[in-house]
């Protein structure tokens, strides 16, 4: 009995001593404006002990009595180290990340990391760089904001398709668009609608964006495997913050005008140019009467062939001049309205935003309207379990002017400067000049269509309804280990209509031509991950993630075409005399893969990271569907060395190097298969024909990138920047080759061994 009592007393004393060796530190973390920061990470320096701030910014952490400092970090804020004094209350204010950008937190590979701890080539665009700017889509917002990122408009229409290239082209046929991820959802950015001009990325109001992280090298992007050959763009949107509900209303107005109008020659100057050309062709001076008569006849001047010299000069002086740019261009406007509300408590937060944008460009009938609703909710059910969801709903309407795809005659902005200046736009009675069915039925010159009339009468529009949302569950298994489950959806309905008016040259004979199309795209994205972050032995730390991901996409298109309408006022397909064609198309693909990464840091000076992904795609042959992609990277934070740590000249200095491989499967969903298609109609019966050769060994296109960089900052970060050198090569190039015509087949995808 005495032994038992003694053992119990010893145990109590030992526990008391253990408890006495720790102290509880608490406080509040706020930003520079005093707003609480939820989700900030508080770590006891040199240990694995960490805590996260609540919705009101409060935190509590048990630290050894020997601990000297706390390290506090938050996305978009400069990491701060706070010394532990005698007080158990520590309040911390975090400011925006420094100009060098190395202390800010970036999203990379299913986790967030400090940029200082990341060895890959990453550029970050923050909200302040894109807010309150007239951008119709988030890809346009990137223009000029990140080195090595090229943004080009396909047609210049607001809300229209955009090409984004990260470090140039990486493939010939297999696509060059980067992988876009919005709040964890991998988006489908391919526009599968035939004649619509919609941009799949225009659903999101750019002012709802918190940050955009661009992974430019394969060492960083390898964890995304099959879809990351052209880089990865990770978009994080704004979330709710605890505290009283805050309302924010923002609006701006503006005008849209062409940067420059061309200085056009008048009719007399143009006559002189034509006369010189005709004279040179016939070995005659430009002021020769025969030359004048010839050119005036070309200009449709009555009785030109019988004019005297004086009459010809008088007719030349009487030529009227019309600048078609006056009618092709207009003063456009842009209007934008945004209303948001955010707030919450220590358990739940929310943010709701609504926006409307209306853009009328300086080219008639090329306008864009978008209305969007975004809802973000987060609930901390327990100290370990957190639920969150984000929903983006948008509807947009886009007018597509005639032949926006670059037709020679189609764009009024282009054609206006090429029409002969003596061509009038209107007849004396106000009707259009030079249209079919009138005399004359065309304009003078090579550009002989009245493009103002064509643009007025022909119509085309695209209506897009889109839902992008996600649901996420996070469970903290331990202070250093979190299990996350994620489900994402990108659903898009694109409806388009194109009307070629019976009064225009391209549909006059057919008495009108109408095309309609509806395209449904459903893209689902599921993944589960284990994220870990652990420190040990004072100066050592590791972090990383392992997980599984599945993605499925289905695409369905229905289209119809008709011509022969009774009048230009009746342009519904049910009024067509000739149902030219009806089409239905279905396609889809699947991807799944396992992935992982681990990063090691010693004393915040030496960093090394390894990542990999084993990915499968249904687009390839059965024996070639899976591929292994990997990345290795390292960094040296030289500014943390003793010989530089107190330097007044050098604020930041680090070296980085990495190599990795990524895959590209951006080809047709069935390009590895032998396909049958319509073989025409014979005697009222539909036929089938072999349209594509099978290629069961079709496999991944692989991109490898070697990247080296140096980040630097001088004089307290007043001067900062980075220099990178990279080498990029493509192996197993996917190339579409035409078959010989006598094979009676059309296409086959070939795999080529190497291209650099």
Separation of alpha carbons 351 and 389, rounded Å: 11
First to last CA, the chain: 83
Q: What is the DSSP letter of 160?
A: B
The closest of 603, 446, 627 to 540, measured between CA atoms, is 603
Q: Does 680 have pLDDT greater than 80?
A: no
The Cα–Cα gap between 53 and 40 comes to: 5
The answer to whether the beta carbons of residues 114 and 105 sit under 8 Å apart is: yes
Q: Is the pLDDT of residue 734 over 90?
A: no
Q: Which pLDDT does position 19 carry in this prediction?
A: 41
**74 touches 11 (CB < 8 A):** no
- Position 195 confidence tier, pLDDT thresholds 50, 70, 90: low
User: Going by C-beta distance under 8 Å and a sequence separation of 6 or more, which residues neighbour residue 728?
Assistant: 167, 168, 170, 703, 704, 705, 706
Angle, helix 309-317 to helix 267-282, in steps of 10 degrees? 140
The helix/strand/coil state of 227 is helix
Which DSSP category does 700 fall into?
-
Nearest-CA neighbor of 457 among 581, 565, 331, 575? 565
Q: How far is CA 342 from CA 177, 244, 555, in A?
A: 34, 8, 36
* Residue 560 pLDDT > 90: yes
DSSP string, 724-742: EEEEEEEEEEEEEEEPPGG
pLDDT tens for each residue of 40-57: 888 888 776 778 888 788
pTM given for the model:
0.80
**What's the mean pLDDT in 515-541?**
92
pLDDT in tens, 87-133: 889 999 987 665 455 566 778 878 888 777 888 888 888 887 877 67
- Listed as own residue / partner, the contacts of 257-261 with beta carbons closer than 8 Å and 24 or more positions apart are 257/329, 257/331, 257/332, 257/362, 258/329, 258/362, 258/413, 261/325, 261/329
Cα separations (Å) of 623 from 228, 620, 702, 737? 22, 8, 17, 22
Q: Residue 108 and residue 110: Cα distance in Å, rounded?
A: 6
β-pairing, 149-153 vs 701-714, is unpaired
- Got the DSSP string for 484-545? EEEEEEEEEEEEEEEEE-TTSTTTTTTT-EEEEEEEEEEEEEEEEEEEEEEEETTTEEEEEE
Q: Hey, which of 12-21, 50-59, 270-279 has the most confident mean pLDDT?
A: 270-279
Residue 138 Ramachandran class (φ > 0 left, ψ -120 to 50 alpha, else beta)? alpha
**Could you tell me if 658 and 119 are in contact, meaning their C-beta atoms sit under 8 angstroms apart?**
yes
Tell me the three state secondary structure of residue 22.
strand
Q: What is the pLDDT of residue 8?
A: 42
Domains and CATH numbers, the chain: 20-96 (2.60.40.1120), 267-320 (no CATH), 407-457 (no CATH)
Convert the pLDDT of each residue in 696-716 to its tens digit.
888 888 899 999 999 999 987
Spatial distance between the Cα atoms of 222 and 635, rounded to a whole number of angstroms: 17
Spell out where 257-384 has E strands. Answer: 332-344, 348-360, 368-380
Please write the tens of the pLDDT for every residue from 592-615: 999 999 999 998 899 999 999 999
pLDDT for 5 beyond 50? no
Mean model confidence pLDDT for the chain: 85
| 39 band by pLDDT with thresholds 50, 70 and 90 | confident
**Closest C-alpha to 126, from 96, 103, 159:** 96
DSSP letter for 364, please: T
3-class DSSP string for 418-462: HCCCCCCCECCCCCECCCCCCCCCCCCCCCCCCHHHHHHHCEEEE
């Amino acid at each position: 009995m005495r032994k038992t009592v003694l053992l119990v007393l010893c145990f109590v004393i030992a526990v008391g001593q253990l408890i006495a060796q720790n102290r509880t530190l608490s406080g509040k973390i706020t930003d520079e404006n005093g707003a609480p920061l939820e989700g900030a990470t508080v770590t006891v320096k040199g240990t694995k002990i960490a805590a996260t701030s609540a919705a009101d910014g409060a935190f509590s952490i048990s630290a050894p009595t020997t601990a000297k400092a706390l390290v506090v970090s938050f996305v978009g804020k400069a990491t701060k180290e706070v010394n532990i004094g005698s007080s158990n209350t520590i309040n911390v204010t975090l400011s925006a990340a420094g100009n060098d950008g190395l202390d800010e937190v970036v999203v990379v590979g299913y986790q967030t990391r400090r940029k200082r701890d990341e060895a890959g080539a990453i550029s970050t665009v923050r909200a302040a760089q894109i807010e309150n700017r007239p951008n119709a889509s988030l890809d346009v917002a990137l223009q000029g904001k990140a080195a090595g990122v090229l943004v080009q408009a396909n047609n210049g229409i607001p809300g229209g398709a955009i090409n984004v290239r990260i470090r140039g082209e990486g493939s010939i046929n297999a696509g060059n668009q980067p992988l876009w991820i919005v709040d964890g959802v991998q988006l489908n950015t391919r526009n599968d609608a035939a004649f619509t001009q919609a941009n799949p990325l225009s659903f999101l109001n750019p002012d709802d964006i918190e940050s955009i992280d661009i992974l430019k090298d394969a060492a960083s992007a390898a964890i995304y495997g099959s879809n990351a050959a052209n880089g990865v763009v990770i978009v994080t949107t704004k979330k709710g913050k605890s505290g009283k509900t805050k309302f924010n209303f923002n609006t701006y107005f503006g005008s849209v005008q062409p940067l420059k109008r061309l200085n056009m020659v008048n009719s007399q100057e143009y006559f002189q140019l034509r006369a010189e050309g005709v004279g040179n062709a016939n070995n005659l001076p430009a002021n020769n009467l025969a030359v004048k008569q010839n050119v005036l006849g070309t200009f449709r001047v009555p009785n030109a062939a019988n004019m005297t010299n004086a009459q010809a000069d008088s007719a030349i002086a009487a030529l009227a001049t019309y600048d078609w740019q006056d009618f092709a261009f207009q003063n456009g406007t842009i209007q934008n309205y945004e209303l948001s509300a955010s707030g919450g408590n220590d358990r739940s937060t929310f943010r709701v935003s609504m926006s409307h944008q209306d853009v009328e460009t300086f080219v008639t009938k090329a306008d864009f309207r978008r209305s969007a609703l975004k809802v973000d909710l987060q609930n901390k059910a327990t100290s370990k379990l957190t639920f969150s969801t984000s929903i983006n709903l948008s509807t947009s309407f886009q007018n597509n002017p005639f032949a926006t795809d670059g037709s020679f005659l189609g764009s009024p902005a282009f054609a206006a400067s090429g029409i002969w200046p003596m061509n009038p736009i209107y007849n004396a009675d106000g009707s259009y000049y030079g249209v079919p069915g009138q005399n004359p039925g065309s304009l003078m010159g090579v550009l002989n269509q009245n493009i103002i009339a064509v643009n007025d009468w022909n119509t085309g529009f695209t209506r897009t309804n889109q839902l992008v949302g996600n649901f996420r569950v996070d469970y903290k298994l331990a202070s250093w280990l979190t299990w996350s489950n994620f489900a994402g959806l990108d659903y898009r309905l694109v409806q388009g209509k194109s009307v070629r008016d019976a009064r225009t040259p391209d549909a006059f004979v057919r008495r009108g031509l109408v095309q309609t199309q509806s395209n449904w795209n459903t893209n689902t994205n599921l993944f589960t991950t284990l994220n870990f972050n652990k420190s040990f032995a004072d100066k050592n730390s590791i972090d990383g993630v392992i997980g599984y991901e599945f993605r499925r996409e289905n695409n369905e298109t229905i289209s119809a075409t008709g011509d022969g309408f009774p009048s230009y006022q009746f342009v519904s397909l049910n009024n067509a005399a000739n149902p030219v064609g009806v089409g239905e198309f279905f396609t889809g693909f699947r991807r799944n893969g396992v992935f992982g990464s681990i990063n090691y840091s010693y004393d915040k000076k030496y960093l090394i990271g390894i990542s990999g992904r084993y990915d499968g795609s249904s687009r390839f042959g059965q024996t070639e569907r899976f591929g292994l992609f990997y990345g290795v990277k390292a960094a040296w934070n030289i500014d943390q060395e003793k010989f530089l740590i107190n330097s007044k000249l050098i604020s930041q200095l680090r070296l980085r190097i990495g190599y990795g491989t990524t895959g590209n499967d951006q080809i047709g969903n069935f390009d590895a298969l032998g396909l049958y298609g319509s073989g025409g109609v014979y005697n009222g019966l539909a036929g089938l024909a072999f349209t594509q050769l099978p290629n069961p060994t079709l496999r991944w296109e692989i991109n490898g990138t070697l990247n080296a960089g140096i980040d630097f900052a001088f004089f307290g970060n007043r001067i900062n920047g980075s220099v990178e050198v990279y080498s990029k090569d493509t192996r197993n190039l996917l190339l579409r080759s035409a078959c010989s015509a006598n094979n009676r087949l059309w296409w086959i995808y070939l795999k080529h061994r190497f291209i650099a």
